[in-house]
Structure 1
Amino acid sequence: MIFRVSTKGDLQSLERIYPAAFPKENLLPVVRSLVTGSVDVLSLVAEDDGKVVGHVAFTICSVGDVSAALLAPLCVDPERHKQGIGTVLVREGFKRLQKRAINQVLVLGDPRYYGRFGFVAERAVRPPYPMPEGWADAWQSLSFGTTEDQIEGTLVVPGVWQNPVLWG
């Protein structure tokens, strides 16, 4: 299995696995924009025997004048769940982000899943839109830097993420 930067040629595969993995959510407009648009994004795929079986995107955002990454979306072909593919995609993304001097990653997701990477509930950086009551612990962050590197404020996201529906 190889883990590589996605290309526009991967879009057809992603259009297959996202609806299969998330049948109640339509993430395809976001995925298409991240893979083919002009957004500053680290978009990685897992490829096994020439077939794309997973994807993760880290959109470069900002808090004030500091860059941070938004981890979303993350998807693995349902036929390949529980094989560690998502974990490797996320960790590979972390390595590449650190090489770009991105010191903080934020995610809106299940704390039980993302906690295993070291994500913790985030209170200093606010999401761009209000989240539903009870979702506070789903807004999480992971810092690669020191406590002096911690940022505070509202996450500024590119247009693809400027839709309140995506935040709850």
Structure 2
Amino acid sequence: MFDLRPETDDDWWEVEALYDLCFAPGREALSSYRLRDGVPPVRGLSLVARDPDGILAGAIRFWPVSVGGARALLLGPVAVHPTRQGEGLGAGLIRESLSLAGKKGWDRVILVGDAPYYQRFGFRRLSGVEMPPPTNPDRILGVALTDGAWDGVTGKVTRAA
């Protein structure tokens, strides 16, 4: 059993250490990080998962972005400590945070990832949406949290104003 709760300022460095452990060196050189530079993650949607002993087992963050002028959330990174992988924690973090996002009035979420993994959460390839280069367009995925939220939404993904 894990305690899922919003990330706080006190969690920041521990979450960063988890991301460093789970992702390749240079992760911050990815184009999606240009959309995050100097922008705080969305409070209340960026979650941490702790085991009964209070040890960090997983984390997920969201960032505000604009897609062709339409407000959206950028999901990522999501990470689960290697000793906790395979327990469904990543899926739990994604499902819970997407549910919270919808309840808080967000309509759409975008990410750069593997369609076979993320399609079970409703993510589909977005055509006409451009992430900062270099990003493989086949990996640009989105999910509508309200009916038709991605209809007619195209253009460049930019940092939130």
Q: What residue number does 1:44 align with?
A: 47
Distance 2:116 2:124 in 1: 10
Q: Is residue 104–residue 144 contact of structure 1 (8 Å, CA) maintained in 2?
A: yes
Matching residue within 100, 104, 120 for 1:100: 104
Evaluate the alpha carbon distance shift between residue 80 and residue 40 of structure 1 in structure 2; reply closer, same or farther with a 3 A threshold: closer
Deviation of 1:91 (Å): 0.8
Matched, 1:152 2:159: no
Residue 164 (structure 1) aligns with: none
**1:52-103, Cα deviation, whole Å (9 max, x unpaired):** 1111011121234431100011111011001111111111111111112211
Once the two structures are superposed, the pairs formed by residues 21-100 of structure 1 within 5 Å of their partners are: 21-27=22-28, 39=40, 41=42, 42-49=45-52, 50-100=54-104
Tell me which of the two structures has the higher relative contact order, counting C-alpha pairs closer than 8 angstroms and 6 or more residues apart.
2
Q: Distance in 2 between matches of 1:39 and 1:77?
A: 23
Q: Sequence identity, in percent?
A: 31
Number of residues of Structure 1 aligned to a counterpart in Structure 2: 151
Residues 22-50 of structure 1, C-alpha deviation per residue, up to 9 Å, x if partnerless?
Answer: 143444xx6xx88xx76251311111121
Closer, same or farther: CA 75–25 of 1 in aligned 2, 3 Å: farther
Write 1 or 2 for the structure with the bigger share of helix.
1
Question: Which of residues 130, 134, 140 is equivalent to 2:133?
Answer: 130
Contact persistence 2:5–2:48 (CA under 8 A): yes
Structure 1 stretches lacking a partner, 5+ long: 160-168
Q: Normalized against structure 1, the TM-score is what?
A: 0.78
Give yes or no for the alignment of 1:121 onto 2:134. Answer: no
Q: Work out the CA distance in 2 between the residues paired with 1:73 and 1:79.
A: 18
1:149 & 1:122 partners in 2: Cα distance?
Answer: 8
In structure 2, the residue matched to 1:20 is 21
Match of 1:6 in 2: 7
Instruction: Identify if the C-alpha distance between structure 1 residues 40 and 78 changes in structure 2 by more than 3 Å, giving closer, same or farther.
Output: closer
Root mean square deviation, CA, Å: 2.5
Deviation at 1:9, TM superposition (A): 1.4
| C-alpha distance in structure 1 between counterparts of 2:100 and 2:85, whole Å | 24
